[in-house]
Amino acid sequence: MPYADGEASDQSHYVAMYRGDLENKEAPGNKWHKLRYHLLAAKAQKVSTIATFGGPFSNHLHAFAATLESLPLNGVAVVRGELQPSLTPTLRDMVDKGIELWPSSRADYRLGDAAEIVAQINRLYGQVYWVPEGGGGVLGAQGCRDWAASIQAHCPDFDAWVVSSGTGTTAAGFLSHIDLSHSNLSHGNAPDLHVFSALKGEPRQRDEIVAIARAVSSGEERNLSDRLFFYSDCHEGGYAKLNATVRRFLCDFARMNPAIPLDPIYTSKAMFTVSQLISAGHWPYKRTLFIHTGGMQGWRGYAKHFNPFF
């Protein structure tokens, strides 16, 4: 079971970590869970080709390639940004696993489903199932809801869960599960959900998380919002940026917790922010479960000396 006790930060705060990064060796973390229902939908639609979008270091693209390797589907990835003279390690892994890469200009990429490159791929392959960027949407959240159920079965009795967010899909799946388990007294008290966004300037994402969670909960009327705490201001300089303060924190964290590596984009910022809240006395919880969402392959986009877990 990928579950390890973390350090107790002080006498009154016990913080444990669910090691999602140790699940599913080829596609660790949340991305496999986000893809699951999309793959089932693609199968049900009997398409021959499944396609998605992502950046050249994307954890989503990496998991997409790893998950497709064993399936009889043609995999296509639209990669943000023009083709570079050499592929990133992430893209190289994808090519090794048989995924076709289509480089896209940033301007066209931004159009999403309406991009010219999407039309080209549809024309070429006919029936194509498109997974949204990051594996999002209601189907992505459904997979994360199942994941939350399995996490809670392994790790009951926490009064707060911590998870990082990009699209907010994982958080939405978690929220819909927590709400459900709260309404079922046999599961005891459900935890509060604290969501730390890696994006800059997306405070409205809180509403999206609630909306997706509601869609996953199939319209049952509940006040989903009560248990959700959303932090839009913990990007520390921007998405994928690692400033000196965070790097110093990561060095300290790595020294004190040598068996617990954090990823550079998501879990590092969430852990940094939670630690600050605890130190500042702004964390009223006694038993916190930090869910590690994976993403370690993302370190390959940084200079080696930035990575204290290497």
Ligand X SMILES: *Cc1c(COP(=O)(O)O)cnc(C)c1O
Q: Which residues bind to ligand X, rule: CB under 6 A?
A: 29-31, 59, 134, 164-171, 263, 266-267, 293-295
Strands 100-104 and 8-10: unpaired
Q: What does the alpha-carbon distance between residue 95 and residue 102 come to, in Å, rounded to a whole number?
A: 11
Length of the chain: 310
Q: How far is the CB of 170 from ligand X (least distance, A)?
A: 3
Residue number, 49 or 60, with CB nearest to ligand X: 60
Q: How far is the CB of 239 from ligand X (least distance, A)?
A: 11
Residue number, 104 or 165, with CB nearest to ligand X: 165
Tell me how crowded residue 123 is: count the other CB atoms within 10 A of its CB. 9
Beta strands in the chain (DSSP E): 3-4, 8-10, 13-19, 49-54, 74-80, 100-104, 128-130, 160-165, 192-197, 228-231, 287-292
**94 in helix, strand or coil?**
helix
Alpha helices in 69-105 (DSSP H): 89-96
Residue number, 49 or 196, with CB nearest to ligand X: 196
Nearest to 179 by CA among 139, 134, 219, 206: 219
Q: How far is the CB of 55 from ligand X (least distance, A)?
A: 11
Residue number, 14 or 290, with CB nearest to ligand X: 290
Q: How far is the CB of 226 from ligand X (least distance, A)?
A: 20
Q: How far is the CB of 49 from ligand X (least distance, A)?
A: 23
Residue number, 49 or 59, with CB nearest to ligand X: 59
Q: How far is the CB of 52 from ligand X (least distance, A)?
A: 13
> Residue 60, by phi and psi: left (phi above 0), alpha (psi -120 to 50) or beta?
alpha
Residue number, 52 or 164, with CB nearest to ligand X: 164
| Residue nearest ligand X by beta-carbon distance | 295
**R_g of the chain computed on alpha carbons:** 19
Residue number, 49 or 56, with CB nearest to ligand X: 56
Query: Quick check: 27 and 21 in contact, CB under 8 A?
Result: no
Phi, psi of 282 (to 5 degrees): -100, 25
User: Which residues on neighbouring strands pair with residue 77, listed in sequence order?
Assistant: 52, 101
